[in-house]
Amino acid sequence: MASSSYTISELASEFEVTTRTIRFYEDKGLLTPKRDGQRRIYSASDRVRLILILRGRRLGFSLDESREIIDLYDPVGQRTSHSNAKQLTRYLEKIQLKQSALAKQLKDIKVMQKELKQAELRCLDALKNI
Amino acid sequence: MASSSYTISELASEFEVTTRTIRFYEDKGLLTPKRDGQRRIYSASDRVRLILILRGRRLGFSLDESREIIDLYDPVGQRTSHSNAKQLTRYLEKIQLKQSALAKQLKDIKVMQKELKQAELRCLDALKNI
DNA sequence: TTGCTCCTCACGTCACGTGAGGTGGC
DNA sequence: TTGCTCCTCACGTCACGTGAGGTGGC
């Protein structure tokens, strides 16, 4: 495959964030693009990490939580820290914690959707009766 | 029904937030409790507003967005601002905007759940093969 | 008097927004 | 030279966290 690299403004416009936001994530150690002189060069994997960070952001995660999520996606076995049972169990617990947090959020969304639906109906009804 | 009023610490412990957080919402005009001397007295409707704010917070909404949500729940017809078709249409549009935002968030959650499930399986598999 | 809960500043932090001022190659 | 995109400070903002220091009634 061809060289898949990106400039900061390419990523910024693709994901509709400011360049400041992307630089901020680098400052916090979440992204580590290469450099061409002063210019930042982002790889395909940098781009994937950014996608994960921004999805976390949309769900209200802190950067530390997104950092964890990225670590959780890291394939098992590619890191020596996962090579023993103790680490794997700890890792599994973290995954399950995130899962229950997501389940709770899903519940919140469904409740809010139901309530908005009702508000919509009340509104349509009021419009009809004008 | 009996007097349903609450102290700040009662609400704080019920919803697991700090009293600072609740006072902050008052500072921003989202809550307007009565006073008994210096002490704040929260009504049942203050409590409902707090519930809505905190649900918004769990979904990553800003306080201004939560303020809008609260307004959207406000029953049609109890506010004169809704008495004409133009206002009702504007209101309906806002509801539908929120609905599509929630739909997007729901999608994000489902993707993340799927990925965490895969990470969980990889992990369980690695544990089995130790 | 001691505890407890409440209160009001007020400075700190996190995740950026928003200029200010400067550089580099078509 | 002019534009464009990139860069590095650095101060501002939002949503609180976290003490500091003080009050009031059992």
B107 contacts chain A (CB < 8 A) = no
Separation between Cα atoms, residue A108 and residue B56, nearest integer Å: 9
Among B75, B92, B123, select the one facing A88 at the smallest CB separation. B123
Asked if residue B77 has pLDDT above 80, the reply is no
* pLDDT average, residue stretch B3-27: 96
* pLDDT average, residue stretch B88-110: 94
* pLDDT average, residue stretch B61-72: 93
Q: Which residue has the higher pLDDT, B88 or A2?
A: B88
Q: Note the pLDDT of residue B73.
A: 81
Among A109, A113, A127, select the one facing B85 at the smallest CB separation. A127
Reported as a single tens digit per residue, the pLDDT across B117-129 is 999 999 999 999 8
Q: Torsions phi, psi of B88, nearest 5? A: -65, -40
Q: Note the pLDDT of residue B129.
A: 87
- Residue A40 C-alpha, separation from nearest chain B C-alpha, in angstroms: 28
Q: How far is CA A25 from CA A17, A52, A66, in A?
A: 12, 12, 11
* pLDDT average, residue stretch B13-21: 98
Mean pLDDT score of chain B: 91
Amino acid at B125: D
B113 contacts chain A (CB < 8 A) = yes
DSSP code of A83? S
Output the pTM of the full model.
0.90
Reported as a single tens digit per residue, the pLDDT across B24-53 is 999 999 999 999 999 999 999 999 999 999
Q: Is B24 exposed, middle or buried (0-12, 13-18, 19+ CB in 10 A)?
A: middle
Q: Note the pLDDT of residue B116.
A: 94
Q: Note the pLDDT of residue A77.
A: 57
Distance CA A80 to C1' D14 in A:
40
Below-50 pLDDT ranges, chain A: none
b or e along B94-108 (b: 16 or more beta carbons within 10 Å of the residue's beta carbon)? Answer: bbeebbeebeebeeb
* Most B CBs within 10 Å, among A109, A125, A130, to test the B interface: A109
Q: Note the pLDDT of residue B79.
A: 60
Asked if A110 and B93 count as a contact pair (C-beta separation under 8 A), the reply is no
B88 contacts chain A (CB < 8 A) = yes
Q: Please, what's the largest Cα pairwise distance for chain A?
A: 69
